[in-house]
Amino acid sequence: MSKKLAGYGGIGIVLLVLTLLICLGIGSVALPIRDIALILLHRIPWIGSHIDPTWNASFEQIIVKVRLPRILLGMLVGAALAVAGSGFQGVLRNPLADPFTLGVSSGSAVGASFLIFFGLQYSFFGGWTLPAVAFVTGMLTLWMVIALARESGKIPTNSLILSGVVMQSFLGAVVSFLSAMSNRTINEIIYWTMGSLSLRGWSYTAILLPYFLVGFAVVWSRARALNLLSLGERQAAHMGMNVDRVKLGVLLVSTLLTAAAVSVAGIIGFVGLVIPHVIRLITGPDYRLIVPLSAIGGAVFMVWADTIARSLLAPTEIPLGVVTAFVGAPFFAYLLYRNKKQRKGRWT
């Protein structure tokens, strides 16, 4: 297992670094990869002092002030959503669960929109207010979706997706209503519904980072429990697992990850669905691999999606949620189709 993790993880890290170097260079001003690498190395203490600055000083400004914070934030958002998705899929033992399809993203967005609408986003706890409120409304939404879908103790795939869609459309309408009511803040709320990473400085990264680190550590530490859970809840209980505590814990933390990501970048669909699945197809069903590799995969995917979003029709930006939906929705359809074909499913 650890050999496999090192192998796949190594490949993942290489992809992540390549993504960083290439995507930093793409934009209104194209930058050479060599300069990017040198500028980044120069910033690293100890190594940096050995490198002479031979590059154009304005390049450094573009990278450090504009592109780097955006790309790092994208990595964090993508990783958070993908880890949340793997957590939801593991606990609900449902291949179609993800922050977006479960309505958790929309739920978090409603909380965020209310704050923005009333201009309260920095009251109470400063920069932490938005994620906290988004977490509460996201959790409420998840609770309602599961309560709506539950049939005599079980949560069938179809009714889970249905109740997720119901909640999503209702909450989406609430957000649209709020944005229609408000003249002043209309653009900002619209951001939430479509997802965007533009004009987010370093402070957003600083808010998201601790949420991500804690959430990732908790979900990963529960990976063996999630493996056990795929044998059935009763089996897991017979093997000494406290099933209810693990389920509640992972659901809470996955919701927290979602809420934190949504509160800095808005609703970005399907990342949490697609990434854990692709990883599962490559590595098999072991959550000890799926969770960390999803984090890397989500980061890579999100940065490329954002690069497409900002450069394809430049200077116009395509909303990020639109780009991920172009990839994610067909994939979702494919999963539905495959799930229909093999009811019992081998996806675990």
Partner 1 sequence: MIEIREAGKQYGGITALHGLNWSVQEGEWWGIIGPNGSGKSTLLQLVSGVEKASSGEVLIHGKPASAYNRKILSRMMAVLQQDGLPPVHYPVREVLEMGRYPYQDWLGRDEGGDPDALIESIMEKLQLHELADRPLDELSGGQRQRVALGKVMAQEPQILLLDEPTTYLDIRYQHQFMELVAQWRKEEGITVVAVLHDLNLAAQFCDKLLVLRDGQAVGMGTPEDMLTEETIRLVYGIEPVIVPHPVSGIPQVLVTRQR
Chain residues binding partner 1 by CB under 8 A are 221, 224, 227-228, 230-232, 234-235, 237-242, 284-286, 288, 344, 346-348
Q: Compare residues 231 and 333 and give the one whose CB is closer to partner 1.
A: 231
Q: Compare residues 237 and 335 and give the one whose CB is closer to partner 1.
A: 237
Q: Compare residues 123 and 235 and give the one whose CB is closer to partner 1.
A: 235
CA distance 25 to 302: 16
* Nearest distance, CB of residue 101 and partner 1, angstroms: 22
**Burial of residue 183, with CB atoms counted within 10 A of its CB: 0-12 exposed, 13-18 middle, 19 or more buried:** exposed
* Nearest distance, CB of residue 93 and partner 1, angstroms: 10
* Nearest distance, CB of residue 134 and partner 1, angstroms: 29
* Nearest distance, CB of residue 223 and partner 1, angstroms: 9
Q: Compare residues 237 and 278 and give the one whose CB is closer to partner 1.
A: 237
* Nearest distance, CB of residue 239 and partner 1, angstroms: 5
Q: What's the maximum distance between 2 C-alpha atoms anywhere in the chain?
A: 68
Q: Compare residues 172 and 285 and give the one whose CB is closer to partner 1.
A: 285
Helix (H, G, I), strand (E, B) or coil at 139: helix
Q: Compare residues 2 and 49 and give the one whose CB is closer to partner 1.
A: 2
* Nearest distance, CB of residue 288 and partner 1, angstroms: 8
* Nearest distance, CB of residue 4 and partner 1, angstroms: 11
Q: Compare residues 181 and 231 and give the one whose CB is closer to partner 1.
A: 231
Residue closest to 224 by CA, chosen among 248, 246, 253: 246
The vertex-282 CA angle with 332 and 1, nearest 5°, equals 130
Residue 22: both structure tokens together? 């290439």
CA distance 292 to 185: 37
The dihedrals phi and psi of 57, each to the nearest 5 degrees, come to: -60, -30
Residue 63: both structure tokens together? 């990278």
CA distance 330 to 348: 21
Bridge partner list, 151: 154
CA distance 292 to 331: 22
Neighbour count for residue 278 (Cβ, 10 Å): 16
* Nearest distance, CB of residue 160 and partner 1, angstroms: 19
Q: Compare residues 241 and 303 and give the one whose CB is closer to partner 1.
A: 241
The dihedrals phi and psi of 85, each to the nearest 5 degrees, come to: -60, -45
98 phi-psi bin (left φ>0, alpha ψ -120 to 50, beta other): beta
Q: Compare residues 27 and 285 and give the one whose CB is closer to partner 1.
A: 285
CB 278 within 8 A of CB 66: no
* Nearest distance, CB of residue 229 and partner 1, angstroms: 11
Residue closest to 262 by CA, chosen among 163, 147, 175, 173: 175
